Amino acid sequence: MRIIFLVMYFLLFSCKEKVKEKQVPEISMGKVVDTVEKPIPIIKTEEKKKLKFLAGIPDSTFVRLADYSEDFAYDLRYATENNFLKAKVYDCAECYTRVKTAKALIKANTEFKKRGVKIKFFDCYRPNYVQYKMWKIVPNPQYVANPVKGSIHNKGGAVDITLVTLEGEELDMGTDFDFFGKKAYHDNYNLPKNILDNRKLLKETMEKYGFWSIRTEWWHYNLSSASNDKIANFKWDCP
């Protein structure tokens, strides 16, 4: 009988010890350690923007350049007051061109990138109704094309540009955009060598891909094949 009692006591004591082991939290350095496994947080990564393709689109179609290349920089001045008009004439900052202009720009920019620079836009397609706005502010054909005749900007075949490093730093071109004076002339060689070299790089590369420049504005380039295009009033939607 005594032996039975001892066996029962031993079994009962063992069960209590097991219960205690389950209930007592694990101790480490005087703190309770949370032994429950936590779910690993899911880090969402931004999906890379899917670019569109120009192949198969008619050359006369207007396209938003940023939808077809991420390799350009933008400072669209006429969507701000930082321009010679001292007025905002675009509702929002967008760069549109005709498809044939976009193709030539992408090819030129591919070559620029090999040299460690890329194109930065000040102005692209300009609707003819905006040309009328500009003419009303500055009715001087020396600075603004008469909207009746229009400019190649109004045809989607002209761009105002400069060059920046791949990190976004502007190359020194001697003047700011919209500077009207001899210092901005292509045939003004009375400038430091680095400025002349930067302008030469811009001009020669753009001409290689079908653009021609205006003598008095180092930033202005027209696509040769756009000269005979019709003036347009295509209006883009602001985001």
pTM exceeding 0.85:
no
In a domain, 236, yes or no: no
pLDDT-based confidence at residue 50 (cuts at 50, 70, 90): confident
CB atoms within 10 A of CB 88: 16
Residue 117 DSSP SS3: strand
Q: Is residue 85 part of a domain?
A: yes
- Rounded to 10 degrees, the C-alpha dihedral 83/84/88/91 comes to -70
Interval 55-88: pLDDT, tens: 999 999 999 999 999 999 999 999 999 999 999 9
In the numeric block, which tokens belong to residue 20? 């205690």
Domain assignment present for residue 145? The answer is yes
Domain count along the chain: 1
Element (H, E) at 136: helix 128-137
Question: Residue written as tokens 């939808």?
Answer: 67
Note the pLDDT of residue 63: 97
Does position 36 have pLDDT exceeding 70, yes or no? no
Q: What is the CATH number of the domain that holds 181?
A: 3.30.1380.10
Sheet architecture: strand order including 211-214: 73-74, 117-123, 158-165, 217-223, 211-214
Q: Phi then psi for 235, rounded to 5 degrees?
A: -120, 125
Give the whole-angstrom CA distance, residue 193 versus residue 86.
32
| Residue span of the structural domain in which 160 resides | 62-226
Looking at residue 34, its pLDDT comes to: 52
Give the DSSP letter of residue 239: -
Instruction: Identify whether 217 is part of a domain.
Output: yes
Q: Residue 9 falls within a domain, yes or no?
A: no
5 within some domain? no
Two tokens at 104?
């030539």
**Is it the case that residue 24 has pLDDT exceeding 50?**
no
The predicted pLDDT at position 239 comes to 83
Does residue 119 sit within a domain?
Answer: yes
Q: How many residues does the chain have?
A: 239
User: In this structure, what token pair is assigned to residue 116?
Assistant: 């460690």
